[in-house]
Structure 1
Amino acid sequence: MINRLIRAIAGIFIIISLLLAVYVNQNWLWFTAFVGVNLLQSSFTKWCLMEDILKKLGIKD
């Protein structure tokens, strides 16, 4: 369950930042890059900040 939520949140963040880049300011693409780098980092280290946040909010595996 938590992995599905993490993927959904990452996808939502990317879509929102792309829309903001198109309609507001191109600098929002840095947020897209940030999400991508965090996904890449978590694949190597097996640690994800969003997972820790969701667990503290009471979401169970």
Structure 2
Amino acid sequence: MGIDEAKDKAAAAAGEAKEGLGGLLDKAKEFLTDDRIDDVAEKIKGIAPDSVDGHVDTLAEKAKEVND
């Protein structure tokens, strides 16, 4: 196998991996609705000390923004 052939195969594999990752991100966004993010945040706040509640809320809001 020549260098050009190896390069072409690597580029094709990278393209396939990128397409697969895009599909995974779409599925994650479907799963992580704002309601689910809120549910997880509430569960974390129920277990963690009260002193971290503000941080959990901030992180949940950022997760919702990224998910939009």
TM value normalised by structure 2: 0.38
TM value normalised by structure 1: 0.40
